[in-house]
Amino acid sequence: RVRNIVGNDALIRLARRAGMRSFQPAASWGLSQITARDQAEWMYEIREQIPERHRKYAMRLLTRIVPRQSWGIAPKTPSGWEIHFKGGWAPSGNPGWTVNQVAQLRREDERFSIAVLTRGGPSYGYGRETIRSVAKRLLMHFERFEP
């Protein structure tokens, strides 16, 4: 709906201002072209991208995902860290599904972000499991090396 109101050019300009180099909108928001690097860098800086008057509300929304959508990276969050995350999925035509998730993990003054993007998987469930497995591998050593 936002794309239909502001148009593709405005979305592209906004993405460039946010540091995204590869964003290309699509008719279905979930099929917009992005890269894991752009998404991880954007999520790392997300607080700075949101107007201050909306920041607290927006960040709270990114921590209160309904349980049926709290899969992938979220269950693998290392203890002591707060997660802000967003996922997206849609049938992507030939072949299969696009299933993505991006997250920022924050603890006191520390933060890091990750993005896992899948495309062309045989099902939504396959994409979810792929993201869950990648997140597990990315974060499994993280807790082991905690000070």
Q: Which two tokens stand for residue 62?
A: 């990114």
The residues near 118 (Cβ < 8 Å, ≥ 6 apart) are 97, 98, 99, 100, 126, 127, 130, 131
How many Å separate Cα 122 from the centre of its chain? 21
The residues near 49 (Cβ < 8 Å, ≥ 6 apart) are 18, 42
pLDDT single digits (tens) 93-132: 777 898 999 999 998 889 999 999 998 999 999 999 999 9
pLDDT single digits (tens) 23-80: 998 877 767 889 999 999 999 999 998 999 999 999 999 998 888 888 888 877 788 8
Query: How would you class 122 by CB atoms within 10 Å of its CB: exposed for 0-12, middle for 13-18, buried for 19 or more?
Result: exposed
Q: What is the pTM of this model?
A: 0.82
